[in-house]
Amino acid sequence: MKTGFISNPFQITTPEDLPAEETVALFVDVFTDFQKIIDPGHVFLLGPRGVGKSMMFRYLQPDCQCIVKNCKLNELPFIGIYIPLKNTNFSLAELKRLENRHASDILNEHIMVTHFCVKIFNSLTQSNLYQTNEDVTDIMKYYTDVFLPEIGWTGIELEDFGTKENITISDVFAKMANIMERIYKDTMSYAKKLAFSNELIPYYGPLFDYIDFLIPILTGLLNTSSFTKGTIYLLIDDAQCLTDTQARVLNSWVGTRTSGRISLKISTQYNYKTFYTTTGAVIDTPHDYYEIDITTIFTGISKSKYRNRVKDIVEKRLSLKGINISAEEFFPEDYEQEKKIEKIAQEYRERYDRGEGKGYNRTDDAIRYARPDFIKSLAGSKKSSSTYSYAGFNQLVHLSSGIVRHFLHPAYLMYAKTKSQSNSEVTFIPASVQSEIIRDEANSFLFKDLDKYEQEGHENAFPKEDIVKLSNLIQGLGSLFRHILLSERSERRVFSIALNDKASDDVSKILNLGVQLGYFHQSTIGKKESKSGGRTKLYIMNRRLAPIWNLDPTGFAGYLFLPNSTLEGLINDSRYLNKIRNIVDENTDSEFTQMSFFDDSDEYELGTLGEEGV
Domain boundaries along the sequence of the chain: 30-298, 475-614
DSSP state of 166: S
The reported pLDDT for the residue numbered 1 is 44
Task: Say if residues 158 and 148 touch (Cβ distance below 8 Å).
Answer: yes
Give pLDDT tens digits for 458-503.
556 788 899 999 999 999 999 889 988 888 777 788 888 988 888 9
Closest CA to 485 of 437, 540, 555: 555
Residues 6+ apart with CB under 8 A from 46: 267, 268, 269, 270, 272, 291, 292, 293, 294, 295
pLDDT at 3 over 60: no
Task: Say if residues 158 and 176 touch (Cβ distance below 8 Å).
Answer: no
Cβ atoms within 10 Å, residue 16:
14
What is the Cα gyration radius of the chain? 28
Closest CA to 602 of 477, 495, 480, 500: 500
Count CA within 13 A, CB hemisphere, residue 341. Answer: 22
DSSP string, 288-352: T-EEEEHHHHHTTTTHHHHHHHHHHHHHHHHHHTT--S-HHHHS---HHHHHHHHHHHHHHHHHH
Total count of residues recorded for the chain? 614
Distance from C-alpha of 179 to C-alpha of 548, rounded to nearest angstrom: 55
Looking at residues 76-100, what average pLDDT do you find? 77
Strands 231-237 and 494-499, by their bridges, are unpaired
**CA distances, 97 to each of 42, 73, 93, 193 (Å):** 31, 44, 8, 11
Give pLDDT tens digits for 533-558.
677 888 999 999 999 999 998 876 67
Looking at residues 143-170, what average pLDDT do you find? 74
Looking at residues 19-31, what average pLDDT do you find? 86
pLDDT at 596 over 50: no
| Of residues 24 and 358, more confidently modeled | 24
pTM (2 d.p.)? 0.83
- Nearest-5° Cα angle at 606, 600 to 608: 145
- Considering 157-171, 325-339, 357-371, the range whose residues carry the highest mean pLDDT is 325-339
**CA distances, 431 to each of 67, 331, 396 (Å):** 39, 7, 11
SS (H, E, C) 333-344: CCHHHHHHHHHH
Task: Say if residues 288 and 276 touch (Cβ distance below 8 Å).
Answer: no
Strands 602-608 and 594-597, by their bridges, are antiparallel
With residue 369 as reference, give the H or E element that holds it. Answer: helix 364-378
Distance from C-alpha of 596 to C-alpha of 588, rounded to nearest angstrom: 13
Give pLDDT tens digits for 336-365.
999 999 999 999 999 888 888 777 788 888
